[in-house]
Every structure is written in C-alpha cells, then in structure tokens.
Structure 1
C-alpha cells in the first residue's frame, strides 16, 4: 500500500482526495475553505483516517 493525498489548492478553498494506492480512492474528495479551524479539523481527520487503515 502506498497512500497518497492529492491537493487542488485554489484561492479561498482546496479540494482534497486521499488514495490508498494508485487508482484506489479512499472515500470521497473533501472541499476545505482556507481557515485555521478547517486546517486543524482536516489534519485530525487525516490522521484518524490513515491510522485505521
């Protein structure tokens, strides 16, 4: 397994997609507005999601 995180960064928001391996997405992509609260929430979700895999 080679987990990867894809980020599409734009002004004001980003799209995030996590993959377990090539062509194997992990759940759906997520839209994140650029705020400190959302950055903290995303990092916590990211760690939790990949810790259980």
Structure 2
C-alpha cells in the first residue's frame, strides 16, 4: 500500500512538473517570437532610414 502511494505521488509530481515545464516553454516560444518580430521590424526601419539618408547608395 505504501509503495502504491509513493508511485502515485511520484507520478503526480512528474505530471505537475511536466505541465509547468510545457507552460514555461510555451511562454518562452511566445516571447522569442515577439522578440524576433521586433528585431525584424527594427532592422527594416533602420534599413529604410539609411536608404533615405544616402540616396546614391542602392
């Protein structure tokens, strides 16, 4: 009986930790995508500004 309780407790703990880990990974992916989009937009804006500053360079 004690062994069964230990197994149930360990499996429950693993499931909880796995759920937290997957939630954290999901948020990290979302944050990474937002940061990537920000970098792409910033690079596009900087590229347009430099093209306007130096019209002879194309």
Q: Does the TM-score normalized on the shorter chain lie above 0.5?
A: no
- Flag the structure with larger Rg: 2
TM-score range, shorter-chain basis? 0.3 to 0.5
Report the TM-score when normalising by structure 1. Answer: 0.35
Report the TM-score when normalising by structure 2. Answer: 0.32
Q: Larger strand proportion, structure 1 or 2?
A: 1
Looking at both structures, which has the greater relative contact order when contacts are Cα pairs under 8 Å and sequence separation is at least 6?
Answer: 1
Q: Larger helix proportion, structure 1 or 2?
A: 2
